[in-house]
């Protein structure tokens, strides 16, 4: 491995979330020292994932197929739709095992600071989906951050003329809490004690 390739590897690794240059160097060294057992399998897995993983055209989840396995699962409750900001939230909620409805992934939340406007989110498809399918309940499961709550209000307004039951996660979600960082028990409790959104 040339010095240049090593620098390149560290640079790419340090662009990963929660990995600064120092930890990136440590990870790079670990990968290099385990070339056959880790480095090559990792490279193959990444290439394979890059070729096969796609965004579900129905809900925005990531899967090797579109519609994704959750959208195609006939055993799930078709009358409940849970709106989340990101795929990591789908994973977090699935880990609880409490929720058996469908999802809609927005791909972020509205943010004045980050310049994320309604057109940047997966909202058009959300409205079409809700208009074309008889959902009995829409759960808005967004983080208890200012941006998350702003987005929740925006969606509630957007759907207000459709005469739906819209609920939000309740008790258990701390203010400023990102769903992805909460434990399964907390998310599960918040789901069970969800309440109607005004």
Sign (positive or negative) of CA dihedral 21, 109, 186, 67: negative
| Cβ closest to Zn ion, residue 140 vs residue 173 | 140
Question: Binding residue for Zn ion (CB under 5 A) from 13, 24, 28, 61?
Answer: 61
Which is closer to Zn ion, CB of 68 or CB of 126? 68
Is 60:68 a contact under the CB 8 Å cutoff? no
- Contact pick of 9, 28, 56, 187 for Zn ion (by CB under 5 A): 56
Query: Rounded to the nearest 5°, which phi and psi values hold at 151?
Result: -65, -40
| Separation between Cα atoms, residue 173 and residue 182, nearest integer Å | 8
Here the tokens at position 49 are 């994932």
Q: How far is the CB of 62 from Zn ion (least distance, A)?
A: 9
Q: Looking at 24-32, 55-63, 91-99, 108-116, which segment touches Zn ion (CB under 5 A)?
A: 55-63
Task: State which of residues 9, 59, 140, 152 lies at the interface with Zn ion (CB under 5 A).
Answer: 59
- Shortest distance, position 104 Cβ to Zn ion, whole Å: 9
Q: What's the min distance (Å) between Cβ of 133 and Zn ion?
A: 13
Our CA angle for 46, 92, 162, nearest 5°, is 110
In this structure, the dihedral spanned by the alpha carbons of residues 87, 89, 95 and 98, taken in order and rounded to 10 degrees, is: -120
Q: Which of 6, 31, 32, 58 binds Zn ion (CB under 5 A)?
A: 58
Assigned token pair, 142: 């967004």
DSSP 99: -
- Nearest distance from C-beta of residue 196 to Zn ion, angstroms: 26
Which residues 65-94 are close enough to bind Zn ion by CB under 5 A? Answer: 67-68, 71
Q: How far is the CB of 143 from Zn ion (least distance, A)?
A: 21
Tracing tokens 């990102």 back to the chain, one arrives at: 178
Say whether residue 140 binds Zn ion (CB under 5 A). no
Annotate each residue in 99-138 with x if it binds Zn ion (CB under 5 A) or - if it does not, as one string.
----------------------------------------
| Cα dist from 129 to 11, 57, 60, whole Å | 41, 11, 12
Q: Which residue in this structure is represented by tokens 């994932």?
A: 49
Provide the binding-site residues for Zn ion, judged by CB under 5 A: 56, 58-59, 61, 67-68, 71
């Amino acid at each position: 491995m040339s010095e240049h390739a090593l620098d390149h590897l560290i640079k790419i690794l340090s662009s990963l979330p929660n990995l600064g240059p120092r930890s990136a160097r440590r990870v790079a060294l670990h990968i290099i020292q385990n070339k056959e057992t880790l480095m090559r399998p990792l490279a193959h897995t990444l290439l394979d994932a890059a070729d096969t993983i796609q965004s579900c055209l129905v809900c925005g989840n990531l899967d090797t197929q579109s519609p994704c396995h959750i959208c195609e699962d006939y055993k799930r409750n078709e009358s409940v739709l849970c709106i989340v900001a990101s795929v990591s939230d789908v994973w977090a909620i699935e880990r609880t095992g409490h929720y058996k409805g469908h999802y809609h992934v927005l791909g972020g939340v509205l943010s004045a600071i980050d310049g994320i406007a309604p057109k940047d989110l997966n909202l058009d498809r959300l409205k079409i989906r809700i208009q074309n399918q008889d959902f009995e309940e829409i759960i808005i499961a967004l983080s208890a951050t200012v941006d998350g709550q702003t987005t929740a209000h925006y969606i509630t307004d957007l759907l207000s003329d459709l005469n739906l039951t819209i609920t939000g996660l309740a008790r258990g979600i701390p203010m400023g809490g990102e769903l992805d960082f909460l434990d399964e028990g907390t998310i599960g409790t918040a789901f069970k004690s969800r309440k109607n959104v005004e």
